[in-house]
Amino acid sequence: MSRILTITTLISLLTITVLTTPATSSTDSFVFGGCSQLKYTPGSPYESNVNLLLTSLVSSAAFTTYNNFTIKSPTPQDTLYGLFQCRGDLSNGDCASCVARAVSQLGTLCPDSSGGALQLEGCFVKYDNTTFLGVEDKTEVLHKCGPLIGFDSDELNRRDVVLGYLGTSDGSYKPFRVGGSGDVSSVAQCVQDLSASECQDCLSEAIGRLKTVCGPAVWGDLYLAKCYVRFSKAGAPSNGGNGNDNNGNDEVEKTLAILIGLIAAVALLVVFLSFLRKVCERERGCK
């Protein structure tokens, strides 16, 4: 009976935890993610390396907004590379919170995968057993565009001025950049394992593609593998999948419904087992 009481207590605690979990903040909103098709064997040295790497990323995020790690192994294929980067305007506390959530989501998104990457609104996390650190990569991962504003030359000029500012280098290394002109604002960032010239090259490529794919839109986001560029007009509709709180809340509500259903099922099972135990004791046929 004490075991049954323990299970019931755990169910109660789980219910409280689930119902009091706050909704996902915009910093933690999902942008994109992907996983390696290769899988590792649970309990293998590679799994230990993955756990060590992800733990290191979360711990390091409390002190800096970017870091990379290499977990070496006697077996080359078990050597692991990883990094995290937070948006340049985040505090250490917000960065640590974002990276912890990203790592948690990676575990759900990419179970037993030898590599994975996840971009949230405020941070980016990636790991793989093939080195990507310091490697320039201008592969397009995602682009999204808002409603068209027509061919308003003033709006387009302001957008081009803002994006041109982001793409201009003054010779210093600035992986995180923000700009604005009138009611148009923008932000851009490179992953900091790139050199200054590689960062500049990546941003120039992203800006050119963004202007092409989004045209005269009120907002636009374009993510390459190692950098991104975003712009928006004040008062424009929210950037679709890059911070849609309604979608986030819907997902939370769905998750709560599933968990509450599971809790109810477990509770019924506990009641049934308790009843069965009592019947067995009366019949003196069960130990």
Residue extents of the structural domains in the chain: 27-133, 140-233
Q: Do domains 27-133 and 140-233 have the same CATH topology?
A: yes
Question: What is the H or E stretch that residue 28 is in?
Answer: none
Angle at CA 117, nearest 5°, toward 36 and 220? 125
User: 65 and 90 in contact (C-beta within 8 Å)?
Assistant: yes
pLDDT digit string (tens) for the chain, length 287 residues: 333 333 333 323 223 222 323 333 488 899 999 999 999 999 999 999 999 999 999 999 999 999 999 999 888 888 999 999 999 999 999 999 999 999 999 999 999 999 999 999 999 999 999 999 999 999 999 999 999 876 567 778 888 888 988 888 777 889 999 988 888 899 999 999 999 999 999 999 999 999 999 988 889 999 999 999 999 987 666 554 443 333 333 443 344 344 434 444 444 554 455 556 655 666 665 44
Q: CA dist 168 to 148, 196, 231, Å?
A: 26, 12, 16
- Residue 185: what are its φ and ψ, rounded to 5°? -125, 160
Q: CA dist 172 to 54, 168, 169, 208, Å?
A: 31, 11, 7, 21
Pick the CATH number of 140-233 from 3.90.550.10, 2.60.40.10, 3.30.70.2740, 3.30.430.20: 3.30.430.20
For residue 147, give the 3-state DSSP assignment.
coil
Pick the CATH number of 27-133 from 1.20.120.430, 3.10.590.10, 3.30.430.20, 3.40.50.1820: 3.30.430.20
